[in-house]
Amino acid sequence: FLAPDPKLRYRVVFEVKSGAQKPEDVNNGLQKVARFVNLLGHYGIRPQPGDLVVALSGPASSATLTAAAHAAHEKGAANPNIELIQKLTDAGVSIRFCGQSMVGHGYTPAEINPNVKIDTAAITTMATLQLQGYALIPD
């Protein structure tokens, strides 16, 4: 069977564009990233900070909001992704948000979780990282 290889350097960009079923649900794409981090850890693999990147856009955009902004935009619903984003960031995962999606959803930079970095566009983030040798795991 094929398992994670401790001899490899895992440099991966995860496309996360699907939203949760309900505003109070954790985003499935972010959960997939957490499973990947945990799986690598099980095999003794600790990626370097920034080797794992999440490119969030589209319907997944609300996951990037602060608690107050999420409640304002999602009819009072708490943002269930804040703790997971914190844990991923603590593990060295870089969480990136599409600036085009931010504008399209009417969010301001002040409404974005401070653990999330705003890029020009998710499509350029994914293209640039792939050209730098990152593997893409699509949504």
Nearest residue to 16 (alpha-carbon basis) of 109, 138, 126: 138
* pTM for the full predicted model: 0.95
Identify the pLDDT of residue 24.
Answer: 87
- Pairing state between β 135-137 and 116-119: unpaired
Q: What is the mean pLDDT of residues 92-99?
A: 98
Mean pLDDT, residues 38-47 taken together: 96
What's the whole-number mean pLDDT along residues 107-121?
98
pLDDT > 90: what percent of the chain? 94
Share of the chain above pLDDT 70, in %: 100
